[in-house]
C-alpha cells in the first residue's frame, strides 16, 4: 500500500475543511480500506459562534456520504462541548444518542452525524481517520487476533475488544484509551471492526493509516497469507438460463419482492465455490458486522432456499429476546449464493445493490482465506451480528427509506434503444428503478447510459442468430426478464407497390416482424416467471390504421406485428402476461425526421415547420419522451388489468379517429 498524497492536488482543496476533504477522498479511493459508505473521518476546528465567541466544532463524516466523493458539505459540524457532555452520561440508547447528535449540530441543514461522532470527539487529536482495512480485519478475525496485533504494532495502537458501534463503543474507547494509551500511540484497533489513525494535520493522520495497514499487509505476506491463489476455473458452461430465472422467481417467494440476480464465474468466484471446505469457510459470519446489512449474516451454500429461509427464521427467533418482540424480521432471502456449478451469485433490489453486495463479498472471500492461511478464520458470534442487523438505528433507517421505485428489482429488454423512442423507453424504465438491457445496431447503445443498471448490446436484428442470443444474454446478466419493449424497426424509402422489390419487402419483414416474433417466442418462458407478471409493449405505428402511399412494406409489417401482439395477448393471458401496443405518429426527435425532411413535408402541406410539428387534433408536438413515458406507464400496475389494447399517441390524427 502506498500513500496517494500529492502536494499539487492537495493545494486545490481550499478552506479549513479542504485538507480533511482531500485525505478522506484518498482513503475512499482504496477499496481495501473503505467499501461503499464505510469508514469515517473527522477534524476538530475552532470557529466563532453568532456572538463572536470561539467554540470547538467537530466536523465528522455525515450519514449517507461516501469518502471517495465527499465534499465539505458532507461533514456534520457538531459542538464539541455538547458531545463531551453526552459522553459523560452513564447510559444512553442509540435512538436517544442519534437525537442528541442532531441537536449538537451547528448547522441544521447538514447531514446527520455519524454514530461514531462521540468516539471521534473523545479522542484527543485534531484529525482522526477510521477504515475497515482488509489486512487488519483478516488478522483480527483469527483466534489469537489481539495477540497478533500487539505483536505487530506494540504500543503504537491501543487494542479495543469488539463493542457494537454507538454510545457503548464510545464509552469503551474512552475508558480503555485514556487508561492504557502510551505517548507513542498513533491509533487504535477495534477488533473485528477496523483501525483508527490520528494526527495533528491531515497528511500525518492519512499517511499513518497507510503505514499501519502496510505493516499488516507485510505481516500477512511474511506468513504466506496475503496473496491468495485460486485454482484455474473449469471452462465448461454450467449455466442454464431457465434454471437461473426459476431460481430468481423462487428468491422472490422468500424475499417478498423482485430482485436482480447476477452470476459471476471468474476464477475467484468458482475457486471459492469449489473449495473443499467452502461450507465451513462461508458459514462463519461476515468480516465485520458493518457488512451484514448489505450481505446478510451468511451466504446460501448451494441452492436450497427453503432450508436457508428456515435457518434464517430460526436465527431471528433465537436472538429475539424479551422487549424486542416489536422487531420486524428482515426478508429471509440470501444476498449471496455460493454454488459449485454457478460460482458466486449476488442479489439485490436494484442492480446498484447487487454491485455493492458483490464487491463486499469478494473482499470477504479474500479476508476469510487470508485468516484461514494465518491459522483459522473466526468471526464474531451470531448474537453480536444480530445486534447490528436489527439495530434500532438500522431499523429506523429502513423505515425511513420510503417506497422503493415502482420497478425496483425488475428487468426490461428494449430494442432500438440507442436513440429516439427506444432510448426514451429505456430511460423511463431506468428512472423507475428497473435494470434495462438495450439492443441496437448502433454501437452507441453500449454507452447510452452510464449506470450499472444498464447493459447495452450491439446487434443487427436482421440476423436470426443475433436475435436468439439477446434474451439469453439478458437472463445471464440480470437473472430474468419481466418487461419486453419491442421498438426497433426500419422505415425504407417511399416506394410504390408497382416498383417494390421482393428483397426490400423481405428485409423490412425480417426486421420489423420476424425479429420480433423470435424475441417474443424466446422471451415467453421467462415472462411467465416474472414476479409481478410479464409485460410486453409493442411500438406500432399510426400507419396500421391510416397507411400512406409508398409505405406498403412498413405499414404491412407494423399491421402484422400488431396482429401478432393481439394473438399473443389471447394466448398468454392465462400466464398473466399482458401485451399492449402503442401507435405513435410524427415523433420528430427520432432519426427518421431530419430537419430537411421536416422542412420538405411542411412545405408540401403549405405549413410552417412549427405548424407542421403540431399538425394534429390537439395541436401538440409528440416527443420520444412522451412515448417512453406511455410505454413505462403501460408496464406499471395502473394497467395491470389491461391487455390487447392499442393506444394511439399522436395528438389525435383525423384519419385514425
The whole-number pLDDT of residue 30 equals: 95
For residue 290, the 8-state DSSP code is: G
Please write the tens of the pLDDT for every residue from 111-121.
999 989 999 99
For residue 229, the 8-state DSSP code is: P
The whole-number pLDDT of residue 174 equals: 86
Q: Report if residue 265 sits inside a domain.
A: yes
pLDDT of 80 strictly over 80: yes
Listed residues 399, 423, 455: the one ending a domain = 399
User: What mean pLDDT value characterizes the chain?
Assistant: 92
Q: Are the C-beta atoms of 571 and 638 separated by less than 8 Å?
A: no
The whole-number pLDDT of residue 468 equals: 85
* Residue 326: band (very low, low, confident or very high) from pLDDT cuts 50, 70, 90: low
Helix (H) or strand (E) holding 269: helix 267-273
Listed residues 343, 373, 399: the one ending a domain = 399
pLDDT of 190 strictly over 90: yes
The whole-number pLDDT of residue 395 equals: 67
Lowest mean pLDDT among 231-245, 410-424, 521-535, 609-623: 231-245
Q: Report if residue 404 sits inside a domain.
A: no
Q: 176 and 35 in one domain?
A: yes
Distance CA 417, CA 523 (A): 18
Q: Report if residue 592 sits inside a domain.
A: yes
The whole-number pLDDT of residue 2 equals: 93
* Residue 33: band (very low, low, confident or very high) from pLDDT cuts 50, 70, 90: very high
Q: 217 and 91 in one domain?
A: yes
Region 545-567 average pLDDT:
96
The whole-number pLDDT of residue 235 equals: 53
- The dihedral through the CA atoms of 289, 291, 294, 300 has a sign that is negative
Site of grid cell 420538405: 600
Q: 630 and 609 in one domain?
A: no
Nearest-Å Rg of the Cα atoms of the chain is 30
CATH code at position 425: 3.40.50.720
DSSP 408-473: TT-EEEEESTTSHHHHHHHHHHHHTT-EEEEEESSGGGGGS--STTEEEEE--TTSHHHHHHHHHH
Q: Are the C-beta atoms of 58 and 117 separated by less than 8 Å?
A: yes
Cα 541 versus chain centre, distance = 36
The whole-number pLDDT of residue 77 equals: 97
Q: Which residue segment(s) compose the domain that 13 sits in?
A: 7-222
The whole-number pLDDT of residue 35 equals: 86
Beta strand 578-584 pairing with 454-458 = unpaired
Question: For the chain, how many structural domains are there in total?
Answer: 4
Q: 186 and 110 in one domain?
A: yes
CATH code at position 384: 3.40.225.10
Helix (H) or strand (E) holding 366: helix 351-374
Q: 428 and 577 in one domain?
A: yes
The whole-number pLDDT of residue 183 equals: 84
- The dihedral through the CA atoms of 542, 548, 551, 555 has a sign that is positive
Q: 420 and 314 in one domain?
A: no
* Residues 6 or more apart in contact with residue 358 via CB below 8 angstroms: 262, 264, 344, 346
The whole-number pLDDT of residue 338 equals: 96
pTM of the model: 0.91
Q: 479 and 387 in one domain?
A: no
Q: Report if residue 448 sits inside a domain.
A: yes
Q: 551 and 494 in one domain?
A: yes
Region 226-237 average pLDDT:
78
Q: Are the C-beta atoms of 501 and 480 separated by less than 8 Å?
A: no
Q: Report if residue 2 sits inside a domain.
A: no
Region 496-509 average pLDDT:
95
The phi, psi pair for 127, rounded to 5°, reads -110, 135
pLDDT of 402 strictly over 80: no
pLDDT of 459 strictly over 70: yes
Listed residues 190, 222, 254: the one ending a domain = 222
The phi, psi pair for 522, rounded to 5°, reads -75, -30
What percent of the chain is modeled with pLDDT above 90?
A: 77
Q: Are the C-beta atoms of 298 and 285 separated by less than 8 Å?
A: yes
The whole-number pLDDT of residue 396 equals: 65
205-219 b/e (C-beta count within 10 Å ≥ 16 → b):
bbbbbbebbebbbeb
Q: Report if residue 146 sits inside a domain.
A: yes
Task: Please tell me the chain's helix, strand, coil percentages from 3-state DSSP, rounded to the nearest 5.
Answer: 45, 15, 40
E strand spans, 499-649: 535-539, 578-584, 646-649
Q: Report if residue 657 sits inside a domain.
A: no
Q: 174 and 130 in one domain?
A: yes
* Residue 8: band (very low, low, confident or very high) from pLDDT cuts 50, 70, 90: very high
311-333 b/e (C-beta count within 10 Å ≥ 16 → b):
bbeebbeebeeeeeeebeebbbb
Neighbours of 146 (CB within 10 A): 16
Q: Are the C-beta atoms of 134 and 56 separated by less than 8 Å?
A: no
Q: 107 and 85 in one domain?
A: yes
What percent of the chain is modeled with pLDDT above 70?
A: 97
Q: Report if residue 598 sits inside a domain.
A: yes
Phi-psi region of 421 (alpha: psi -120 to 50; beta: other; left: phi over 0): alpha
DSSP 466-501: HHHHHHHHHHHHHS---EEEE-----PPPB-GGG--
Lowest mean pLDDT among 145-154, 178-187, 605-614: 178-187
Please write the tens of the pLDDT for every residue from 379-400.
888 888 888 888 777 666 666 5
Region 28-47 average pLDDT:
92
Q: 594 and 517 in one domain?
A: no
Q: 562 and 447 in one domain?
A: yes
The phi, psi pair for 45, rounded to 5°, reads -125, 155
Q: Are the C-beta atoms of 646 and 540 separated by less than 8 Å?
A: yes
- CA distances, 203 to each of 133, 187, 198, 199, 210 (Å): 18, 14, 10, 8, 11
Please write the tens of the pLDDT for every residue from 247-264.
999 999 999 999 999 999
Amino acid at each position: 500500500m502506498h500513500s496517494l498524497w500529492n502536494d499539487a492536488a492537495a493545494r486545490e482543496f481550499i478552506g479549513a475543511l479542504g485538507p480533511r476533504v482531500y485525505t478522506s477522498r484518498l482513503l475512499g479511493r482504496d477499496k481495501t480500506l473503505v467499501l461503499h459508505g464505510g469508514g469515517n473521518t473527522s477534524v476538530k476546528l475552532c470557529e466563532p459562534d453568532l456572538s463572536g465567541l470561539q467554540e470547538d466544532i467537530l466536523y465528522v463524516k455525515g450519514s449517507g456520504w461516501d469518502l471517495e466523493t465527499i465534499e465539505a458539505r458532507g461533514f456534520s459540524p457538531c459542538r464539541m462541548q455538547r458531545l463531551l457532555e453526552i459522553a459523560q452520561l452513564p447510559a444512553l440508547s442509540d435512538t436517544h444518542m442519534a437525537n442528541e447528535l442532531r441537536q449538537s449540530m451547528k448547522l441544521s441543514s447538514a447531514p446527520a452525524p455519524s454514530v461514531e461522532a462521540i468516539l471521534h470527539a473523545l479522542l484527543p487529536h485534531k484529525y482522526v481517520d477510521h477504515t475497515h482495512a482488509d489486512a487488519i480485519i483478516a488478522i483480527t478475525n483469527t483466534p489469537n487476533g489481539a495477540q497478533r496485533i500487539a505483536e505487530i504494532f506494540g504500543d503504537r495502537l491501543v487494542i479495543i475488544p469488539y463493542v457494537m458501534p454507538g454510545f457503548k463503543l464510545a464509552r469503551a474507547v474512552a475508558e480503555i484509551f485514556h487508561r492504557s494509551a502510551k505517548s507513542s500511540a498513533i491509533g487504535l484497533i477495534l477488533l473485528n471492526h477496523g483501525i483508527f489513525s490520528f494526527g495533528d494535520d491531515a497528511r500525518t493522520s492519512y499517511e499513518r493509516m497507510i503505514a499501519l495497514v502496510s505493516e499488516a499487509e507485510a505481516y500477512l505476506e511474511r506468513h504466506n497469507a496475503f496473496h491468495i491463489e485460486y485454482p484455474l476455473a473449469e471452462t465448461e458452461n454450467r449455466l442454464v438460463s431457465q434454471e437461473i430465472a426459476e431460481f430468481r422467481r423462487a428468491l422472490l417467494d422468500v424475499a417478498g419482492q423482485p430482485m436482480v440476480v447476477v452470476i459471476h464465474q471468474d476464477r475467484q468466484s468458482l475457486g471459492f465455490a469449489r473449495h473443499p471446505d467452502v461450507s465451513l469457510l462461508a458459514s462463519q459470519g461476515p468480516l465485520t458486522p458493518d457488512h451484514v446489512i448489505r450481505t446478510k449474516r451468511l451466504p446460501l451454500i448451494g441452492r436450497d432456499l427453503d432450508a436457508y429461509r428456515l435457518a434464517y427464521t430460526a436465527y431471528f427467533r433465537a436472538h429475539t429476546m424479551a422487549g424486542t418482540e416489536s422487531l420486524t424480521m428482515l426478508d429471509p432471502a440470501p444476498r449471496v449464493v455460493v454454488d459449485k456449478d454457478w460460482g458466486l451469485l449476488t442479489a439485490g433490489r436494484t442492480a446498484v445493490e447487487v454491485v455493492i453486495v458483490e464487491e463486499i463479498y469478494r473482499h470477504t472471500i479474500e479476508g476469510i482465506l487470508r485468516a484461514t492461511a494465518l491459522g483459522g478464520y473466526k468471526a464474531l458470534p451470531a448474537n453480536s451480528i444480530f445486534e447490528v442487523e436489527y439495530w434500532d438505528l438500522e431499523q429506523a433507517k429502513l423505515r425511513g427509506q420510503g417506497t422503493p421505485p415502482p420497478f425496483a428489482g425488475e428487468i426490461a429488454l428494449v430494442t432500438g434503444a440507442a436513440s429516439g423512442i427506444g432510448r426514451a423507453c429505456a430511460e423511463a424504465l431506468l428512472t423507475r428503478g428497473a435494470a434495462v438491457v438495450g439492443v441496437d445496431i448502433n454501437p452507441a447503445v453500449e454507452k447510452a447510459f452510464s449506470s450499472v443498471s444498464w447493459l447495452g448490446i450491439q446487434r443487427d436484428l436482421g440476423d436470426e442468430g443475433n436475435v436468439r442470443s439477446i434474451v439469453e444474454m439478458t437472463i445471464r446478466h440480470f437473472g430474468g426478464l419481466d418487461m419486453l419493449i419491442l421498438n426497433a424497426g426500419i422505415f425504407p424509402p417511399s416506394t410504390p407497390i408497382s416498383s417494390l422489390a421482393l428483397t426490400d419487402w423481405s428485409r423490412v419483414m425480417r426486421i420489423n416482424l420476424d425479429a420480433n416474433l423470435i424475441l417474443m417466442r424466446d422471451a415467453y418462458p421467462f415472462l411467465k416467471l416474472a414476479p409481478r407478471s410479464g409485460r410486453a409493449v409493442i411500438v406500432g405505428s399510426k400507419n396500421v390504421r391510416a397507411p400512406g402511399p409508398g409505405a406498403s412494406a412498413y405499414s404491412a409489417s407494423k399491421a402484422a406485428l400488431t396482429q401478432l401482439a393481439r394473438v399473443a395477448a389471447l394466448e398468454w393471458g392465462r400466464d398473466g402476461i399482458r401485451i399492449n401496443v402503442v401507435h405513435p405518429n410524427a415523433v420528430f426527435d427520432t432519426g427518421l425526421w431530419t430537419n430537411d425532411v421536416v422542412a420538405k413535408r411542411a412545405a408540401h402541406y403549405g405549413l410552417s415547420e412549427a405548424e407542421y410539428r403540431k399538425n394534429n387534433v390537439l395541436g401538440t408536438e409528440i416527443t420520444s419522451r412522451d412515448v417512453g413515458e406511455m410505454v413505462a406507464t403501460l408496464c406499471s400496475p395502473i394497467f395491470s388489468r389491461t391487455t390487447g389494447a392499442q393506444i394511439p399517441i399522436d395528438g389525435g390524427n383525423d384519419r385514425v379517429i
